Amino acid sequence: MRWSQTYIPTLRENQSDAELVSHQLLLRGGYIRKLASGIYLYLPLMQRVIEKFSKIVREEMNAAGGLEITMSVLCPAEVWQKTGRYNTVGKELMKMKDRHDHEMILCGTHEETVTNLIAGEVKSYRQLPLNLYQIQVKFRDEIRPRFGLMRGREFIMKDAYSFDATVESQKESYQKMVDAYFRIFERAGLEVLKVESDSGAMGGSTAHEFMLLVDTNGGEETILHCPSCRYAANEEKAVFKDLNKPEIDSEMKENEVVETPNAASIEEVTEFLKVDATRLVKTLIYMADDKPVAALVRGDRSVNETKLKNAVNAIELESATPAQVEQFTKAPVGFAGPVGLKDLTIVVDPLVAEMKNFVVGANADEKHIINVNFERDFKADKVVDITTAINGDGCHNCDGTMEAKSGIEVGNTFMLGTKYSEALNAKYLDDNGKEHPIIMGSYGIGITRTPQAALEKYFDDHGIIWPVGIAPYLVEIIPLNLDKENIAAASEIIYNDLNEAGFDVLIDDRPERAGVKFNDADLIGMPIRITIGEKSLNDNKIEVKLRSSDEVIKVDVDKIVEHVREVVQTLK
């Protein structure tokens, strides 16, 4: 491709609305443009990246027995009403009416459509297992679209769905996808960590996420990882052993309301009462599907909202507003406590349940209660783990200590069980003619998110450094001065030879200064740069430089194809 004939609108200046380096680079490199919040247009270079990554995904999915199909984005609400997700997915689901007043949705995922497709058509165990996948646009009205392609409202996903007759066979299907995922990400130049995850709105029990660990601020997810036994889980799900257990009193003491002027936060209360945060209990008020919930965790820990949401079976969970806190506790924020609390669901963490003589808010301004005891002074609707695991917590599996890492979720796999097949009547007959619901799995990969995620790892001060597998072009040729006949002729020959050899080549044929071309080449990040200049050419040489290294190698003009072929083997 010739630069003069394509569209690569690079930008000099940093873009103020891009917080992440990857987002910044895609905008500045002329890869994407924003249309509206969470909605992006993919320009020619991005289109090539998407195609490269999709090709890898297709090849590996096909090799794993997947069959590619395309399902519609628009779907009648009815199918989603049957599984209940029309109401349970929440505001992320885009709902609308067509001209006939039929309720429709824009799919953010396709379990309903695909199950509906096979229900009644796949009848016998002989037709199973089956794996159907697609690479297609998804819509989700994300609460916080941000970070460019990382969290869009419209984005591209590879979604696969497996159908099996037995649990054993479903496990095999699941493992095939896991293996394919590792190959896919490796070919894209990415080392990923498979972690246990919360299955959330998907239903089912076993779920994993594939995380790209990053050192930048681009990681939206926190992962707890035990280096000893390799347990790894998303913070949303991670369980832990508490290594910071405070001493527990042997006797319960009389409780007592005490004045705590100007002390509302945990720090202020520990300071004022001269007690450790591990002797305090935090009471946080949430709204779970519009019903108030009080969540109690030890003073030194935080509430895990995913665990809490699961504990109370809520679809939407939000912190109560200060006004709601006042309404339910009769006190300003900072003084909530479980004693005497009415009309709220009370969820107590096991770390709180084992404490004695602790401090809680008194549901009155500037007052706390000391020597409070669970069961004696208040009861819980549920005692369940709602604490967030943190760096340094003990591993629940072994004696190791867990480390917290930051990562980007690039893909995930879910064992769905029979939630969708039962709701949509997708059944098969076994060899005795007995009917069973089909056992399902679903498997997603972010086709637009993953390449941007890669850029949180592959960049330097000058721009992008694409891994070979998903680079829009492998080689960029920079002729330094196209007015010189010999440079123009040599560039043309090299460009054609590399193209004929099957490499993807971009030639910067613009009448720009060398500096501009070099800056743009660094910014857009093709793995191999070939510079054709007067001086070297007089010796019948051209200069080859990898984007990932500063070293410049001089190569004979007629050896360039061979050289590129060799170099590619050494690149990620």
List residues near ligand ATP by CB under 6 A. 109, 140, 142, 151-152, 155, 157, 409-412, 444, 446, 448-449
Residue of minimal Cβ distance to ligand ATP: 446
**Cβ 28 to ligand ATP, closest distance in Å?**
20
Token pair for residue 443?
Answer: 């498997």
How far apart are CB 410 and ligand ATP at their closest, in Å?
5
Closest distance between ligand ATP and the C-beta of residue 283, in Å?
28
Q: How near is the Cβ of 553 to ligand ATP at its closest, in Å?
A: 37
Minimum distance, C-beta of residue 146 to ligand ATP, in the bound complex (Å): 9
Whose CA is closest to 63, among 187, 164, 209? 187
CB-nearer residue toward ligand ATP: 151 or 301? 151
CA distances from 495 to 54, 395, 501, 561 (A): 26, 56, 10, 10
CB of 445 to ligand ATP, least distance (A): 6
Q: Which is nearer to ligand ATP, 221 or 393 (CB)?
A: 221
The span from the CA of 108 to the CA of 325, in Å, is 34
Least Cβ distance, residue 511 to ligand ATP (angstroms): 39
- Tokens matching residue 53: 């990554």
Q: How far is the CB of 142 from ligand ATP (least distance, A)?
A: 5
Q: Minimum Å distance from CB 403 to ligand ATP?
A: 21
Q: Rounded to whole angstroms, how far apart are CA atoms 526 and 513?
A: 19
Give 410 or 471: the residue with its C-beta nearer to ligand ATP: 410
- For residues 74 and 53, give the distance between their C-alpha atoms in angstroms, rounded to a whole number: 25
The letter for the amino acid at 90 is G
Concatenating the DSSP letter of every residue in 538-555 gives HTTEEEEEETT---EEEE
Output 68 or 268, the one with its CB closest to ligand ATP: 68
Least CB distance to ligand ATP at residue 408 (A): 8
What are the distances in angstroms from CA 520 to CA 3, 457, 464? 11, 19, 10
Query: Of 412, 409, 447, nearest to 214 (Cα)?
Result: 409
- Asked whether 318 and 264 are in contact (CB, 8 A), the reply is no
Shortest distance, position 411 Cβ to ligand ATP, whole Å:
5
Of 109 and 406, which has the nearer Cβ to ligand ATP? 109
Q: What is the CA radius of gyration of the chain?
A: 29
**Residue among 238 and 542 whose Cβ is closer to ligand ATP:** 238
Structure tokens at 224: 């707890």
Q: Closer to ligand ATP by CB, 409 or 509: give it.
A: 409
3-state secondary structure of 465: coil
Q: Which is nearer to ligand ATP, 177 or 478 (CB)?
A: 177
Residues facing residue 67 across a β-bridge: 132
With beta carbons less than 8 A apart as the criterion, state whether 161 and 111 touch.
yes
Backbone CA torsion sign across 448, 453, 458, 463: positive
CA–CA gap between residue 253 and residue 250 (Å, rounded): 10
Which residue number, 388 or 536, has a Cβ lying nearer to ligand ATP? 388
3-state helix, strand, coil in the chain (%, to 5): 30, 30, 40
Give the residue with the Cβ less far from ligand ATP, 109 or 371.
Answer: 109
Nearer to ligand ATP, 177 or 370 (CB): 177
Q: Which is nearer to ligand ATP, 368 or 449 (CB)?
A: 449
Instruction: Output the smallest distance, CB 480 to ligand ATP, in A.
Output: 40
Among candidate residues 38, 49, 74, the one with its CA nearest the CA of residue 448? 49
Nearer to ligand ATP, 115 or 412 (CB): 412
- Strand ranges in 299-402 using DSSP code E only, listed in sequence order: 317-319, 345-348, 358-361, 367-372, 382-383
Provide, rounded to whole angstroms, the least separation between the CB of residue 155 and ligand ATP. Answer: 4
Q: Where are the alpha helices (DSSP H) in 75-229?
A: 77-83, 85-88, 111-118, 167-187
b/e code 152-189 from CB counts within 10 Å (16+ = b): bbbbbbbbbbbbbbeeebbeebbebbbebbeebbebbb
